[in-house]
Amino acid sequence: MLILTRKSGEGINIGDDIKITIMEIKGRQVKVGIEAPPELMIHREEIYAKILEENRLAARLSSESFEKIKDIFSHR
């Protein structure tokens, strides 16, 4: 892990496409701006963890469960 010290208004570049800027520092909270290509998904860590968990649960669904879901939506 690379650890850098930045002040408000300073930034970090990752490759050619990603720029992270420290927008504001208030006490223990830091506001960060991220510039990246629109096709790159950016999530807060806690949201990303929920997405991964939902993906794991979805992968465990059996083919029987998919058939039940298909039946529910085909009757609408």
Q: Does residue 1 fall inside a structural domain?
A: no
Co-location of 29 and 51 in the same domain: no
Using pLDDT thresholds of 50, 70 and 90, give the confidence band for residue 58.
confident
Six-digit token string for 26? 């208030």
Task: Identify whether the C-beta of residue 21 lies closer than 8 Å to the C-beta of residue 33.
Answer: yes
Measured in whole angstroms, the distance separating CA 43 from the mean position of its chain's CA atoms is 2
pTM comes to: 0.69
Yes or no: say if 11 and 20 are a contact pair by the CB < 8 Å rule.
Answer: yes
Residues 61 and 74 in one domain: yes
Name the residue range of residue 23's domain. Answer: 7-38
- Confidence at 76, pLDDT banded by 50, 70, 90: low
Give the largest Cα separation in the chain, rounded.
Answer: 58
Residue 2 lies inside a defined structural domain of this protein: no
Same domain, 28 and 49: no
The model's pLDDT over 23-47, given as tens digits with 9 standing for 90+, comes to: 999 999 999 999 999 999 999 999 9
Q: What angle do CA 51, 61, 53 make, to 5 degrees?
A: 20
Q: How many distinct structural domains can be found in the chain?
A: 2
Mean pLDDT value of segment 17-27? 97
Q: Is residue 75 part of a domain?
A: yes
